Amino acid sequence: MSYPWWHVPFLTAPMLIALIATVHVLVSHYAVGGGLFLAVETSHAYRHKDERYLAYLKQHAWFFVLLTVVFGAITGVGIWWIIGLASPLATHFLIQTFVFGWATEWVFFVIELTAGFAFYYFWGRLDPKTHVAMGWIYAIAAWISLVLITGITAFMLDPGRWPETHNFWDGFFNPQFLPQVLARTGGAFLLASLYVYFHASFRCRDREHLRYIERRSSRPAMLGSILVAVGGLWWFLMLPESSKAALQGAAVINVLMVIMFTLTIVVFALLYLGPYRNPGWLSPGFAIMFLGFGLAATATGEYIREAVRKPYIVYNLVLGNQVLVEDVPRLRSEGFIEGTTWPSAWLAARHPQLTQRDSEGRLRIDEQALLGLPAEERVDIGEVLFMYHCNDCHAAENGVNAMAHLLTGWNREMVATSVRHPEQLKYFMPPWSGTEAEAELLTDYLMQLRPELPPGMDFGEGPGQPLSMLPGNDNASEEVR
Ligand code: HEC
């Protein structure tokens, strides 16, 4: 299956996924933890006939419904839109692999929405038992949603035995499943308490009552912290080798790891010193800072979790540039353009003289003739190859991981080598899946993108022999430079 690429200037398409998914995660964990909070606490308040607490919980339920059911649901649907556009092959793959998983998830999502609205809108009109039951139905459905989605997203990091068996359950209960369910459940408890502190510090005027709310939520938050720590450590220990390597080898991820650990420790410390040991610290300022740190730690963790999957979108199965691992050898021998629907149609329309249909009606491309095209034509084809091969992680001239900046001052030979062996340059890049001639055209494109060294930085030829030219590189047209 071959899909067209989607060019998002500056940001690159996958970064849009990262943005919207991160915002969604910050709210969706609250959707789970907050649901449990409301179910447990309304039940507690009814049992103790605590009208004051019930009144607060109703206010909180309004905030909760607005943020999670409305905003959370919209961003959730937004993720589907964006992944369908930015990562069509991987989305296709995940839908096909987990059709019934998704279907079940949507059933629970509908239950969740219905129970959530009933819980809030029928407040005071349902008898306490039914009301609390609604809260529990919401909370359990929301947690099951979390479990179902985690099974599928954890599969992307490590599909376990699925590639051999193609069995749904092998894929779903993958090695990353339990660690991630544990960490996410903990994150849900912890974030929910931070949201409660945030809301209560503004809405609850009575200091004494605020202290009561603070104390009620500190235990689940402490439990959440423990689950996050255990789940996070377990996640790390279970990481596939390639992800451990990416975690250690990529500078950006190193920095983010430090930030995440620091923020997480700060949140734990504040939680212990503040609400747990000294209820009474809570002011709107403290609550904003606390929630801000919690959200920042979660967002960084989420980003790292996504980033360590490189070079894969689905480990060992789908590569980061929308190529199936099993297709790499075929694309290398047939050619990327010939082997994919959209680029071959594009080339046939643009250079009909280079393509012909074989006896089975398949489009064949004259690879060597590609190299005989004039320089601008080669660059144009190179750009198409770039969009398919590299654009998922590199903007061209400016923006995320921009190619032009990375290549400043590189000579043709270095560019040519990195195109042919990206996975050797940085092991979190997918391998080249095209022919020698196509690699040449991409090199042409990159060479005209590449800026010269800044003035004063040219130190001349170093010692030793000039690097030998790569095989096939004698075609490298100097005119392109
Ligand atoms: C799955 C994501 C991904 C894809 C696809 C990808 N790259 Fe990269 N590439 C990266 C990352 C991440 C870096 C590291 C950037 C950094 O160090 O800041 C990188 C770095 C580079 C560098 C600089 C290496 C260095 O040592 O500084 C070059 C050159 C490069 N990529 C070329 C390419 C080319 C050419 C393609 C397409 C054939 C490609 N990349 C496709 C993720 C990718």
How crowded is residue 393: how many other Cβ atoms within 10 Å of its Cβ? 21
- pTM comes to 0.91
Average pLDDT, the chain: 92
Q: Are 19 and 357 in contact (CB under 8 A)?
A: no
Whether residue 386 sits in one domain with residue 333: yes
Tell me, yes or no, whether 198 and 292 share the same domain.
yes
Ligand 1 site-directed mutation target among 383, 394, 448, most atoms within 8 Å of CB: 394
- pLDDT, one tens digit per residue, over 82-117 is 999 999 999 999 999 999 999 999 999 999 999 999
Choosing from 17, 315, 429 the residue with most ligand 1 atoms within 8 A of its CB, the one to mutate for a pocket test is 429
Residues 170 and 314 grouped into a single domain: yes
Residue 396 placed within a domain: yes
pLDDT at 472: 43
Q: Is there a single domain that holds both residue 239 and residue 204? A: yes
Query: Ligand 1 atom closest to Cα of 392?
Result: 5
Same structural domain, 204 and 151: yes
Q: Does a cis peptide bond (omega within 30 degrees of 0) precede residue 311?
A: yes
Residues 330 and 282 in one domain: no
**Tokens standing for residue 443:** 């090199």
Q: Is the CB of 382 under 6 A from ligand 1?
A: no
Residue where one domain finishes, among candidates 319, 336, 368: 319
Q: Which tens digit of pLDDT belongs to each residue from 399-452?
A: 999 999 999 999 999 999 999 999 999 988 999 999 999 999 999 999 999 998
How many structural domains is the chain composed of?
A: 2
Q: Is the backbone of residue 412 left (phi > 0), alpha (psi -120 to 50) or beta?
A: alpha
Q: How many angstroms is it from 309 CA to the middle of ligand 1?
A: 14
**55/107 same-domain check:** yes
Q: Answer for the pair 82, 17: CB distance below 8 angstroms, yes or no.
A: yes
What CATH number does residue 163 fall under?
Answer: 1.20.1630
190 and 310 fall within a common domain: yes
Domain range holding 75?
Answer: 13-319
Mean pLDDT confidence for 246-266: 90
Is the CB of residue 207 below 6 angstroms from any atom belonging to ligand 1? Answer: no
Q: Is residue 458 over pLDDT 80? A: no
CB 415 within 8 A of CB 432: no
Say yes or no: 207 and 343 in one domain. no
Same domain, yes or no, for 137 and 179?
yes
Question: Are 275 and 226 contained in the same domain?
Answer: yes
Would you say 248 and 241 are in contact if contact means Cβ atoms under 8 Å apart? no
Location of structure tokens 């420790």: 265
Distances (CA, A) of 179 to 36, 92, 109, 235, 316: 21, 26, 23, 5, 20
Identify which has the larger pLDDT, 345 or 2: 345
Specify the residue for token string 């270095």: 414
Atom nearest to 311 CA in ligand 1: 1
In tens, the pLDDT along 181-211 reads 999 999 999 999 999 999 999 999 899 999 9
Tokens of 462: 């170093």
Which has more confidence, 96 or 464?
96
| Span from the CA of 232 to the centroid of ligand 1 (angstroms) | 28
pLDDT digits (tens, 9 = 90+) for 57-73: 999 999 999 999 889 98
User: Does the Cβ of 14 fall within 6 Å of ligand 1?
Assistant: no
Q: Check if the beta carbon of residue 190 is closer than 8 Å to that of residue 228.
A: yes
pLDDT for res 453: 86
CA of 418 to the centre of ligand 1 (A): 9
Say yes or no to pLDDT of 320 above 80: yes
At 438, which CATH number? 1.10.760
Listed residues 297, 319, 341: the one ending a domain: 319
Q: Is residue 3 part of a domain?
A: no
Label residues 154-192 b or e (16+ Cβ within 10 Å = b): bbbbbbbebeeeeeeebbbbbbbbbbbbbbbbbbbbbbb
Kindly indicate the confidence band of residue 459, based on its pLDDT and cuts at 50, 70 and 90. Answer: confident
Q: Does 385 sit in the ligand 1 pocket, CB within 6 Å? A: no
User: Same structural domain for residues 137 and 265?
Assistant: yes
Could you give the percent of the chain with pLDDT greater than 90? 81
Peptide bond into 159 cis (omega under 30): no
Instruction: Judge contact between 254 and 304, C-beta under 8 A.
Output: no
449 lines ligand 1 (CB under 6 A): no
Q: Is the CB of 69 under 6 A from ligand 1?
A: no
